[in-house]
Amino acid sequence: MLTELLLAHSAVDQDLWDQFHQRRVERAAAIVNASVQLAEWQRDGEDHSSDVPQLLASVAQRVAVPA
């Protein structure tokens, strides 16, 4: 996706950054948030084994679609 934007722009400028940011931030935030959730589950010591597959599936579904 970044390569696509770089090829479409004549310079690395604010417009390029804004387009990149718009397409990537929500996706990246979902991955970070899932990682934080997994860490919290590990830290709290409770059994979340039934929650983990659902969380990972939701992240996989989101990243399977190109940004």
Domain boundaries, the chain: 25-67
Q: How far apart are CA 66 and CA 23, in angstroms?
A: 9
Q: 67 pLDDT exceeds 90?
A: no
What pTM, to 2 d.p., does this model score?
0.71
Give the per-residue pLDDT at 26. Answer: 87
Q: 59 pLDDT exceeds 80?
A: yes
What pLDDT, in 10s, does the model give residues 11-53?
Answer: 999 999 999 999 889 889 999 999 999 999 999 999 999 999 9
Give the per-residue pLDDT at 28. Answer: 92
SS3 13: coil
In the block, tokens 């804004």 appear at 18
Give the per-residue pLDDT at 1. Answer: 83
